[in-house]
Amino acid sequence: MKKLLFVGFAIAAAGLATAGAQTFTTGVGPDKRQQETRRPPAPVSGRPVAGALPRAARGNPIQMLNPGAPEKYRASVDDTVTYDPNNPSRITGIILAGIRW
């Protein structure tokens, strides 16, 4: 037990003796490392979002079902439905969310 205690003190004394030998200095010239430049974030595209869900989020979703809704709640039908290319009068699906380009 005494030997273990002596070894512990010897290690602690050696650590304290070497701690004083550390120096923290810097060069006198300009910093040679290049500073990291931050890039601005990528711009958000201005593409319009189409579909029934974004349209419902922008306004009152109940007015989407009302045929007599005011003009501010109406939107183009092309934003919410898809057509058959061979028969344009036939609706083939509903666009829930999409991006037009």
User: By mean pLDDT, which of 6-20, 27-41, 55-69 is the weakest?
Assistant: 27-41
pLDDT per residue as tens digits for the range 82-96: 888 898 888 898 888
The pLDDT of residue 26 is: 67
The pTM for the full model equals 0.41
Question: How is the chain split into domains, by residue range?
Answer: 49-99
Has residue 49 got a pLDDT over 80?
Answer: no
The pLDDT of residue 60 is: 82
Contact 79, 97 (CB under 8 A): no
The pLDDT of residue 14 is: 80
State whether residue 80 is helix, strand or coil. coil
